[in-house]
């Protein structure tokens, strides 16, 4: 397993540790002489995991180590990380449940859409809106975690979370629009080829009938 894929797998292993730290009762850990609360440690783990998301893609492209396994695992790791953090924050009553449902639902809806597109031979690349959403998500979730220990950050976290919800909705609409647009072109192209094939068969059949007529004459 190459280094980019190892970072992706490591991000998946971060998920249960992140949830465990967020949902447990308040505790303080001493790490190398530094005292951190469980929420502060969870924040560091989340930011480290988010950083690996940037690093593994960069390294895979730079070292030409893009693999099928990496392409499959990377979006799964991203969705697990974000979904787990949001669900844990709902448990801590830091965000409304419907907000988490909108964000997580969007992730799985778009993933399903891209899977359907892939089966039909279509490729829907990540849009700028999708990349913006990911940045908003990391900032919003990071601020929400920080607000568990520093409540004065809650307002900023809430504003960022609303930004995530809005961008998630808009980007989902954009993905569906692009999907139907490309699918429509694909269907039209397929019908055009079918019509051409039918016309070719008719021409061939007529030519065969003329040859048979000449033979009989």
The CATH number of residue 43's host domain is 1.20.120.1760
Percent of the chain with pLDDT over 90: 16
pLDDT tens per residue across span 20-79: 988 887 788 777 778 888 899 999 999 998 888 888 877 877 888 777 777 777 778 888
Domain presence at residue 214: no
User: Closest Cα to residue 37, out of 145, 122, 192, 144?
Assistant: 145
Domain presence at residue 195: no
- pLDDT tier for residue 121 given thresholds of 50, 70 and 90: low
Domain presence at residue 68: yes
- Is this structure's pTM higher than 0.85? no
Range of the domain at 72: 3-189
Residues in the chain, overall count: 217
- pLDDT tier for residue 201 given thresholds of 50, 70 and 90: confident
Mean pLDDT, range 123-129, rounded to an integer: 60
Domain presence at residue 45: yes
Percent of the chain with pLDDT over 70: 86
- Sole residue written with tokens 């499959």: 72
Domain presence at residue 198: no
User: Higher-confidence residue: 154 or 202?
Assistant: 154
Could you tell me which residues come within 8 angstroms of residue 49 by beta carbon, excluding any fewer than 6 positions away? 10, 11, 14, 15, 18, 81
- Own/partner pairs, 23-32, CB within 8 angstroms, 24+ separation: 23/88, 23/91, 23/92
Mean pLDDT, range 182-210, rounded to an integer: 74
Domain presence at residue 157: yes
- pLDDT tier for residue 185 given thresholds of 50, 70 and 90: low
Domain presence at residue 36: yes
Q: Can you give the pLDDT at residue 117?
A: 66
If one counts the domains in the chain, the total is 1
Domain presence at residue 197: no
First to last CA, the chain: 73
């Amino acid at each position: 397993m190459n280094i980019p894929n190892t970072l992706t797998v490591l991000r998946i292993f971060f998920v249960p540790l992140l949830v465990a730290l967020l949902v447990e009762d308040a505790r303080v850990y001493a790490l190398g002489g530094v005292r951190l609360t469980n929420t502060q440690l969870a924040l560091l783990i989340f930011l480290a995991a988010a950083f690996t998301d940037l690093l593994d893609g960069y390294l895979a492209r730079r070292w030409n180590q893009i693999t099928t396994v990496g392409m499959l695992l990377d979006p799964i790791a991203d969705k697990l990380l974000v979904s787990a953090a949001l669900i844990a924050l709902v448990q801590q009553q830091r965000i409304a449940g419907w907000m988490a449902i909108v964000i997580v639902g969007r992730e799985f809806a778009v993933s399903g859409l891209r899977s359907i597109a892939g089966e039909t031979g279509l490729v829907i690349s990540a849009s700028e809106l999708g990349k913006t959403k990911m940045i908003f998500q990391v900032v919003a979730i990071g601020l929400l975690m920080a607000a568990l220990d520093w409540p004065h950050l809650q307002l900023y976290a809430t504003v960022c979370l609303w930004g995530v919800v809005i961008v998630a909705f808009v980007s989902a609409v954009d993905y569906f629009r692009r999907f139907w647009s490309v699918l429509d072109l694909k269907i039209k192209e397929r019908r055009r080829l079918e019509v051409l094939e039918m016309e070719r068969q008719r021409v061939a059949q007529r030519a065969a009938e003329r040859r048979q007529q000449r033979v009989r004459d």
